Amino acid sequence: MALVDILDAIRGEAEEEQRLLRRRGEERTEATLTRAAATAGQREETLAASRDDEAEDEARAIRNRAHLQVERAMRAAREDAFSSVMEAVHRRLDTVRADSGYDRIFTTLLAECRSVLPDASVLVVDDADRDLAASCAPEMTVRTGLTTRGGMVLETEDGRRVVNTLETRLDRAGPLLRREFAELAGFGEV
């Protein structure tokens, strides 16, 4: 299973979870707006009778507080939704080694490393990938000790290294994923 297929599967799961979280966020936001509008409306009615500047200022302050409450609720809902999606992605990464396409993912990550450090001689992997690493790179010294859900670190004798693990790739993609999630979910910015 290619990395693209894994990401597509993750995206499908994430989209379903997004819909659910978005619906929950909208319900919470609607309830907050209703309460805020009712409170502001009651206050405005009470204050409108007095018609003085102080009453108008207080009504404006109430509306501003209600608006800020709604904005905070929306921001929290968006962040909760994104966090939930990222948790689902991390859960999916926990199972990637069990996929039949993991060997292909591993060899693709290795090829990327080699293109950056063609003179690398040491391949550092997770214990779970030791045999796979040895079969993919028999000319290299394979060391374990890396804790990762998949991928490797490639090193040269002079100390240069390339880290190409699934986690580091996900971390580097974080800002882009956040923007894409916000766009797909219709949130604007998350």
Residues of the chain falling short of pLDDT 70: 1-11, 13-15, 21, 46-52, 187-190
pLDDT tens digits, residue range 61-117? 888 888 888 888 888 888 888 888 888 888 888 899 998 899 999 999 999 999 999
pLDDT of residue 4: 60
Rounded CA separation 76/82 (Å): 10
Contact 103, 150 (CB under 8 A): no
Residue holding tokens 């028999």? 138
Residue 32 in tokens: 């907050």
pLDDT of residue 30: 78
Q: Quick one: fold of 100-168?
A: hypothetical protein PF0899 fold (3.30.2320)
pTM of the complete model: 0.61
